[in-house]
Structure 1
Amino acid sequence: MDLQNSFIVPADIDTAWKTLLDVESIAPCMPGATLTSFTGEEFTASVKVKLGPVTQNFNGEGSFTKRDEATHTAVITASGKEIRGGGSASAVITATLVSEGPNSTRADVLTELTITGKVAQFGKGVITDVSKKLIDQFATNLQAVIAAKSAADSAAPGEVVAAPVIQASDSIDLLGAAGAPVLKRAIPVAIGVIVIVGIIVYFIVK
């Protein structure tokens, strides 16, 4: 299935591109995701997913197949697997930045998702809703980071600028993202979430 997501970065396209490649600044913007390694064009990541009182961990890996600064486009392949289960997913992810004005950039993300195991039984709608809510939270936190950077750049010498308040948590609340109606389906759907997080991994690796 194909998933399409977009969000706005409140900065010019060059600033947005550089900011999205600043690991230390934006890694906390994504709930539940931790970059565990990055070597050359390959990376690994882990994701913690919370389902009520139960917490599950997922491992993912990926590699860049294209990274073009001139067109502000990157393509990665990514895959994820439940640590204690048989579900898995893989994706080809294309992320492109588009200038919307002198202080606005749109990030368009296309994910070509392939799923196997129990998660394949569930519809596109649930995974689409989860991915949108996660990316919306990421974008909100990213806006806070960029606003803080802008304030720091324009601050007078010696002036102290407060650090941004990031709302990302150490785990993805799957019920909060998918909603109560998918309670019985949420665990297998989490396999799809790891690949959606792969979208964000592009933005948190350098």
Structure 2
Amino acid sequence: MNTFHDFEQEVLDAIKAINPNVYCIGPLNLLEARVPAHDTSRDLTVSLWKEDPRCFEWLDKQKPGSVVYVNYGSIAKCQQEQVLAHEGVGLFFTHAGWNSTLETVIAGKPVICWPFIAEQSTNSRYLCKVWDVGVRGEIVELIKEMLESERGKERHNKALEWKEKAVAAAQVGGSSYKDFDRLIAEVFRH
């Protein structure tokens, strides 16, 4: 599963009680960092569009944490992971799809959730109520709260805590790393 144990511990423990062969090997985005720089698989991209560096040139001119990044599945000309990781971005306004959820956790950014369909409402509830890194409601008030208030700072710190846990899970010896080893061993056993 593209998640890590600390992130969804209660749900994963319930699933493992029924079927112990559950492998949490995420966030998968963090695996790319372990691919050697000379490996040609690093050149693969999920976008059909050529990346546009002007986005990052603009971000570089912004104050740290001052940008609200909004992306609702638009045609990407720069990778969302890289935008979220930029120090200029202080807040992510998202539909709360699973990939966006993991990418924001990896980046350590708080979120404003605006779910539309499928798993987005569930992810939004977890981001806001369980992981305490997001909010839902009236947009203008939420942006002010998240960027200017003490509670917004607390959510930002919580987002950074989840980032540390995600990174730790994917590192050598982490829970996702160990589960990946277990999965490979299971595949080769059959």
* Greater relative CO (CA pairs within 8 A, separation 6+): 1
Structure 1 or 2: more helix by fraction:
2
TM-score, scaled relative to structure 1? 0.22
Structure 1 or 2: more strand by fraction:
1
TM-score, scaled relative to structure 2? 0.24
